[in-house]
């Protein structure tokens, strides 16, 4: 059921404090709207509460002021329809790549109770997913037998295996070299195009944000608020070549000025 | 990976070299056998006293292993509990550290008072001295779960028990099996201490009696018997560790 242009993730005047009353304010009066099927990016200086945003949107934490809505409902418990990936791949070294992929299915319903009896079906699903990110026939390897880029692809697959409606990415390519990073940009671009899921990407790489996102939010230094919102109107599908176009450069430049202001 | 011949021979060569140097020193410097007996005399003591040595070794081995088994069970449970909840951790940890700081020699007389001499205090001393490293290691393994991974699973609605089963316990296993190697050697220390103070049996007691009768080679034979038992049990634990958690020992550093 796809409804484009309907708000899917909404943060409405959200403030969040760590360490109870009197603690540091992580975000203040933060308002963000992400439509269903949209690719949103959040950029900002480090320590601007981007990770707090991740936790609020997935129901790992709850704001002390304002409201967070995902898929039309106020978030009051873990959302379960979200997949997450981080800068570190956090794969389990005692499980093969394929077994790592099956981990979310051992947790989330309805797969949890079906997994044992329908193992073959799920294994096939995992293998198809691995193939779609260029990891065909790598399922039996252990994570430490894979390169950093391959581990990160696996981590992306793990975030997608239960077919979430929302994908939250927290600097997922931050630890990779430039070439691998651009390769993975294309992987995530293709996944988004094929599945039309809603993606929120937290990053401090402006080129990454402009290349991938439909809409970019620039956050201020702590406590984080939205300073600017920029719609990226470069037509899809986008090729890596687009990153060298003047129009691409202009958007990056514009964002960079916002960030410079935010850091002051 | 194939280990080179030199690496496989090294432990035997080193051990034999130690005994050869020992023997030569005793002869060259004319050290009196009642001060430091040469290995040949100790070997003779092994032959002469093979039955009492075997009997007492078996006793020490049994008290050590029973105490160790108790420590594994109790240490695992307590470690899981401490790793499970901050409150249990905060409550139990200071007590445990205090308890661990008490020299176990001081506890043996109390145990003897409660349970009589012999078997029971030896088992309990072995248990008391060896459970601490198991608890600490299991708790450490649980405490080092990556917070991001916890987030991934929690966002899917995983319960604490799910996270414990899928991530915490497998992750704590290398720490647990590593701690067994420390715990088994400590267990020998515990049982022998208890036997030397409050027992009519065991290697500890045998050595005490040999000392009273000035049978110095027999004292050393007792020491060697203990060392051999310790090495064999340690090796068993190391094999168990490699079997159970091979995935955690992939660094070339550990193999060379």
pLDDT (average), residues B171-197: 93
Identify the sign of the CA torsion B123, B124, B128, B134: positive
User: What confidence category does residue B2 fall into, taking pLDDT thresholds of 50, 70 and 90?
Assistant: low
Question: Looking at chain A, how many residues does it have?
Answer: 264
Q: Report the pLDDT averaged over residues B244-249.
A: 76
Does the CB of B156 have a partner CB in chain A at under 8 Å? yes
- Give the C-alpha separation, A179 to A81, whole Å: 31
pLDDT of B82 over the 50 cut: yes
Read off the pTM.
0.79
- Mean pLDDT score of chain B: 90
Beta strands in A2-74 (DSSP E): 7-17, 25-35, 39-43, 65-70, 73-74
Would you say residue B252 has pLDDT above 70?
no
Distances (CA, A) of A17 to A11, A61, A201, A202, B45: 15, 10, 22, 20, 74
| Chain A contact present for B170, CB below 8 A | yes
Residue-wise burial string across A106-129, b where 16 or more C-beta atoms lie within 10 A, e elsewhere: bbbeebbeebeeeeeebbebbbeb
The mean pLDDT of B213-217, rounded to a whole number, is 92
Place of tokens 């449970």: B77
Q: Provide the number of CB pairs (under 8 Å) joining chain A to chain B.
A: 66
Q: Which residues of A touch B248 (CB under 8 A)?
A: 93-94
Does some domain include residue A115? yes
Residue A20 has pLDDT above 80, yes or no: no
pLDDT value at A50 more than 50: yes
Which of 18-57 (A) contact B at CB < 8 A? 54-55
Instruction: Answer yes or no: do A162 and B156 touch at CB < 8 A.
Output: yes
From chain A, the residues in CB contact with B167 under 8 A are: 92
Percentage of the residues of chain B whose pLDDT score is greater than 90: 68
The helix/strand/coil state of A77 is: coil
Give me the residues paired with residue A201 across strands: A41, A169
User: How does residue B256 score in pLDDT terms, banded at 50, 70 and 90?
Assistant: very low
**A125 falls within a domain:** yes
Residue A94: closest C-alpha in chain B? B247
Could you tell me the domains of chain B?
49-249 (1.10.3720.10)
As a whole-number percent, the residues of chain B with pLDDT over 70 amount to: 96
Residues B112-134 have pLDDT tens digits of 999 999 899 999 999 999 999 99
Rg (CA), chain A: 18
In a domain, A136, yes or no: yes
pLDDT in tens, B3-22: 788 888 999 999 999 999 99
CA atoms within 13 A on the CB side of A123: 11
Would you say residue A256 has pLDDT above 70?
yes
**Interval A44-65 mean pLDDT:** 85
Contacts of A11 (CB under 8 A, 6+ apart): A30, A31, A32, A33, A53, A56, A57, A63, A66, A67, A68
Residue A2 has pLDDT above 60, yes or no: no
**Residue A189 pLDDT class (50, 70, 90 cuts):** very high
| Number of independent structural domains in chain A | 1
Range of the structural domain that residue A112 is part of: 96-158
Backbone angles phi, psi at A48, to 5 degrees: -95, 10
CB contacts, 8 Å: A60 with chain B = 151, 154-155
More confident residue, A5 or B228: B228
A108 reaches B (C-beta below 8 A): yes
Q: Does residue A137 lie in a domain region?
A: yes
- Does residue A205 lie within any of the structural domains? no
CB-based contact, B243 to chain A, within 8 Å: no
Query: Over the stretch B136-172, which tens digit does the pLDDT of each residue have?
Result: 999 888 888 888 888 888 888 888 899 999 999 998 9
Residue with more model confidence, A115 or B213: B213
pLDDT of amino acid B250? 64
Is A59 an 8 Å CB contact of chain B? yes
pLDDT in the model for residue B72: 96
């Amino acid at each position: 059921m796809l409804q484009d242009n309907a708000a899917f993730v909404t943060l409405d005047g959200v403030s969040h404090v760590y360490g109870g009353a009197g603690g540091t304010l992580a975000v203040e009066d933060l308002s963000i709207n992400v439509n269903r099927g949209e690719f949103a990016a959040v950029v900002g200086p480090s320590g601007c509460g981007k990770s707090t945003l991740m936790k609020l949107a997935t129901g790992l934490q709850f704001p002390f002021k304002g409201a967070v809505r995902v898929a039309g409902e106020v978030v009051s418990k873990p959302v379960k329809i979200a997949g997450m990936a981080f800068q570190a791949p956090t794969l389990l070294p005692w499980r093969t790549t394929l077994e790592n992929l099956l981990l979310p299915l051992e947790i989330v319903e309805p797969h949890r109770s079906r997994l044992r009896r329908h193992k073959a079906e799920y294994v096939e699903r995992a293998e198809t997913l691995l193939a779609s990110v260029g990891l065909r026939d790598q399922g039996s390897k252990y994570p430490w037998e894979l390169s950093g880029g391959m581990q990160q692809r696996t981590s992306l697959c793990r975030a997608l295996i239960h077919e979430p409606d929302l994908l939250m990415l927290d600097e997922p390519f931050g630890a990779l070299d430039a070439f691998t990073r651009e390769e993975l940009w294309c992987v995530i671009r293709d996944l988004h195009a094929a599945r039309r899921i809603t993606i929120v990407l937290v990053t401090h790489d402006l080129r990454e944000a402009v290349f991938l996102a439909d809409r970019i939010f620039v956050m201020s230094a702590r406590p984080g608020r939205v300073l600017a919102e920029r719609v990226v109107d470069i037509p899809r599908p986008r090729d890596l070549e687009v990153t060298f176009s003047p129009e691409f450069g202009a958007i990056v430049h514009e964002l960079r000025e916002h960030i410079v202001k935010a850091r002051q | 990976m194939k280990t080179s011949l030199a690496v496989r021979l090294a432990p035997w060569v080193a051990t034999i070299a130690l005994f050869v140097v020992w023997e030569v020193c005793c002869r060259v410097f004319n050290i009196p056998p009642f001060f430091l007996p040469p290995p040949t005399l100790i070997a003779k003591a092994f032959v002469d006293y093979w039955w009492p040595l075997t009997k007492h070794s078996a006793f020490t081995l049994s008290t050590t292993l029973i105490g160790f088994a108790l420590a594994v069970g109790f240490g695992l449970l307590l470690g899981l509990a401490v790793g499970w909840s901050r409150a249990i951790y905060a409550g139990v940890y200071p007590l445990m550290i205090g308890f661990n700081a008490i020299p176990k020699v001081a506890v043996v007389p109390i145990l003897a008072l409660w349970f009589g001499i012999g078997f029971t205090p030896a088992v309990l001393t072995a248990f008391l001295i060896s459970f601490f490293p198991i608890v600490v290691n299991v708790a450490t393994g649980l405490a080092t779960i990556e917070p991001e991974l916890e987030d991934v699973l929690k966002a899917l609605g995983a319960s604490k028990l799910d996270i414990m089963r899928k991530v915490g316990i497998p992750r704590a296993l290398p720490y647990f099996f590593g701690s067994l190697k420390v715990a088994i050697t400590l267990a020998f220390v515990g049982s022998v201490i208890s036997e030397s103070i409050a027992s009519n049996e065991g290697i500890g007691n045998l050595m005490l009696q040999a000392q009273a009768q000035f049978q110095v080679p027999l004292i050393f034979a007792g020491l060697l018997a203990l060392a051999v038992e310790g090495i064999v049990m340690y090796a068993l634990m190391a094999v168990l560790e490699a079997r159970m958690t091979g995935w955690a020992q992939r660094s070339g550093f550990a193999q060379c």
